[in-house]
C-alpha cells in the first residue's frame, strides 16, 4: 500500500455537521491561484436546488465550478496541478449517482480503484467531503444496506489515501488523522 499523500485532505461527518463549510474554509487557506469546486450533486427537485444555491453563495467569485455527477476521476486527472486546489463535494452523492447508474459490485469497485489511483497521483491539493453514514440505524432494506456498506468502504479507502482526515461533528472539525509529513515539511 502506498503511503498517504499530504496533499489529499478528507473531511467526513454526518449530515449538516459543518463538514462542507470546514472543507471550504481549509481550501481558502491554501495558497493556490486557482480554486475549483467539483460538484457531484444533481438538482432533481426544488429543495435540492435551494441547497445547491446555499452552497454556491458560500463561495466567492474566485472559485470555478465543475459539475460532474460521476466523472470526478477525470476531473481530478484533468485539473490537478500544484497551483490549483480541488474541492470535491461530495463523495456520498457521487456514490449515490454511481449506484443509480451501476448495479454490479465490480463496477463500483472499479470506480473506487480509479478514484484512489487518481488521488495517489494528484499533482496538487485535493480536498474531499463525504458523509459518515455508518453511525445510524441499520437500514431496513437491501438497497439501503448496500449503500451504507459501500459508503463505509469508500470512506475507508479515501481516508487511507489522505494525509489528513478531519471528522466534523456539530460544526466542530476534529483532526483524526494528522497531516502526513514527507521529508521536513508538510503540505499544504
CB-based contact 145:139 (threshold 8 Å): yes
Backbone φ, ψ for residue 9 (5° rounding): -125, 135
- What's the pLDDT score for residue 93? 95
* Element housing 140 (H / E): none
The one-digit pLDDT tens for each residue of the chain (188 residues) are 578 889 999 999 998 999 999 999 999 999 999 999 999 987 778 887 887 778 777 888 899 999 999 999 999 999 999 999 999 999 999 999 999 887 689 999 999 999 999 999 999 999 999 999 988 888 899 989 999 999 999 999 999 999 999 999 999 999 999 985 554 344 44
**Active-site annotation holder among 55, 79, 111, 117:** 55
- The structural domains of the chain, with segments of one domain joined by +, span 6-177
User: CB-based contacts of 123: which residues, under 8 Å, 6+ apart?
Assistant: 80, 81, 82
Q: Quote the CA–CA distance of 15 and 3 in Å, as a whole number.
A: 29
Distances (CA, A) of 82 to 7, 31, 38, 98, 164: 9, 10, 17, 29, 18
- What's the pLDDT score for residue 179? 80
| CB atoms inside a 10 Å sphere around CB 107 | 13
- What's the pLDDT score for residue 149? 95
The question of whether 117 is a catalytic residue gets the answer no
Residue pointed to by grid coordinates 453563495: 57
Query: In Å, how far from its chain's centre is CA 23?
Result: 9
Q: Which three cell numbers stand for residue 31?
A: 495558497
Q: Residue 94's closest CA among 150, 136, 142, 29?
A: 150
The domain made up of 6-177 has a fold known as Rossmann fold (3.40.50)
Q: What is the pTM of this model?
A: 0.90
User: CB-based contacts of 59: which residues, under 8 Å, 6+ apart?
Assistant: 24, 37, 65
Amino acid at each position: 500500500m502506498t503511503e498517504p499523500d499530504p496533499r489529499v485532505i478528507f473531511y467526513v461527518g454526518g449530515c449538516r455537521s459543518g463538514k462542507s463549510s470546514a472543507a471550504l474554509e481549509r481550501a481558502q487557506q491554501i495558497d493556490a491561484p486557482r480554486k475549483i469546486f467539483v460538484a457531484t450533486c444533481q438538482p432533481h427537485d426544488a429543495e435540492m436546488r435551494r441547497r445547491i444555491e446555499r452552497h454556491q453563495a458560500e463561495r466567492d467569485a474566485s472559485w470555478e465550478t465543475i459539475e460532474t455527477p460521476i466523472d470526478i476521476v477525470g476531473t481530478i486527472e484533468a485539473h490537478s496541478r500544484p497551483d490549483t486546489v480541488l474541492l470535491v463535494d461530495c463523495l456520498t452523492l457521487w456514490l449515490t449517482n454511481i449506484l443509480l447508474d451501476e448495479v454490479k459490485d465490480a463496477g463500483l469497485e472499479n470506480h473506487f480503484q480509479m478514484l484512489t489511483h487518481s488521488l495517489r497521483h494528484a499533482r496538487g491539493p485535493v480536498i474531499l467531503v463525504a458523509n459518515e453514514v455508518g453511525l445510524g440505524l441499520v437500514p431496513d432494506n437491501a438497497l439501503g444496506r448496500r449503500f451504507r456498506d459501500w459508503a463505509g468502504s469508500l470512506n475507508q479507502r479515501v481516508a487511507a489515501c489522505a494525509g489528513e482526515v478531519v471528522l466534523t461533528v456539530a460544526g466542530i472539525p476534529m483532526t483524526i488523522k494528522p497531516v502526513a509529513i514527507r521529508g521536513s515539511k508538510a503540505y499544504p
